[in-house]
Structure 1
Amino acid sequence: MRKIVALRRVLGDALGHFNDDDGWAMASHLAISALMALFPFLIFATTLASFLGAQAFAETAVHLVFDTWPDQIAAPIAREVVNVLTVQRGDLLTFGVALAGFFASNGVEALRTSLNRAYRVVETRSIWFRRTQSIVFVLIATVGFVAISVLLVFAPLIARFLEARFDWIQPYMGTITLWRFVIASAVIVFALVAVHIWLPAGKRRLVDIVPGIIFTLIAWLIGSTVFAAYLDNFASYVTTYAGLASIMIAVVFLYIVSVIFILGGELNASVRRYLDARAKVAG
Structure 2
Amino acid sequence: MNIVKAKDQTLLLLKQTQENNLSLVSAGVAFYGFLSIFPSLAALISLYGLIFDPANVVEQVNALAGILPPEVHSILQQRLSDITTTDAQSLKAGVIFGILLSLWSANRAMKAFSEALNIVFSNREQRNFIQVNLVTLALTLASIVVFIIGMIAIVGVPIVVSYLLSQSWAQIITGVLSWLLFVGLVVGLFLMLYRFAPASPRYEWREHLPGSILATVLFLSASVAFSFYVSNFGDYDEQYGALGAVVVTLFWLYIGAFIFLLGAEINAMRIEPSDDLSPGYYAEKQQRESIFPSRP
Fold match, TM over 0.5?
Answer: yes
- Which residue in 1 is equivalent to 2:35? 36
Q: Post-superposition shift, 1:152?
A: 5.7
Q: More relative contact order in 1 or in 2 (CA 8 Å, sep 6+)?
A: 1
Cα distance in 2 between the residues matched to 1:232 and 1:273: 43
Between stretches 255-264 and 136-145, larger displacement belongs to: 136-145
* Residue 186 of structure 1, aligned match among 184, 187, 209: 184
Is the contact between residue 32 and residue 109 of structure 2 (CA under 8 Å) also seen in structure 1?
A: yes
- Which residue in 1 is equivalent to 2:70? 72
Is the contact between residue 67 and residue 184 of structure 1 (CA under 8 Å) also seen in structure 2?
A: no
Is the contact between residue 63 and residue 184 of structure 1 (CA under 8 Å) also seen in structure 2?
A: no
**Identity over aligned pairs, percent:** 20
Between stretches 192-201 and 4-13, larger displacement belongs to: 4-13
Q: Over aligned residue pairs, what C-alpha RMSD do you find?
A: 3.0
Cα distance in 1 between the residues matched to 2:214 and 2:150: 27
Q: Post-superposition shift, 1:235?
A: 1.7
Q: TM-score under structure 1 normalisation? A: 0.81
- Which residue in 2 is equivalent to 1:268? 267
- Which residue in 1 is equivalent to 2:248? 249
Cα distance in 2 between the residues matched to 1:125 and 1:86: 38
Deviations 1:142-196 (A, max 9, x none): 34444555566545531421333xx6524447xx665544443232111001001
- The number of residue pairs the alignment matches comes to 270
Helix, strand or coil at the partner of 1:102: helix
Q: Post-superposition shift, 1:222?
A: 3.4
Cα distance in 1 between the residues matched to 2:85 and 2:249: 23
Cα distance in 1 between the residues matched to 2:135 and 2:66: 26
- Which residue in 1 is equivalent to 2:284? none
- Which residue in 1 is equivalent to 2:25? 26
Helix, strand or coil at the partner of 1:121: coil
- Which residue in 1 is equivalent to 2:279? none
Deviations 1:20-76 (A, max 9, x none): 222111010111111221221110121233244553552367358x45733534432
Cα distance in 2 between the residues matched to 1:258 and 1:151: 25
- The within-5 A match list for 1:163-178 is 163-164=165-166, 168-172=168-172
- The within-5 A match list for 1:193-272 is 193-201=191-199, 202-272=201-271
- Which residue in 1 is equivalent to 2:10? 11
Deviations 1:111-155 (A, max 9, x none): 111111111222212221110111112223334444555566545
Name structure 1 gaps, 5 residues minimum. Answer: 277-283
Cα distance in 1 between the residues matched to 2:140 and 2:56: 16
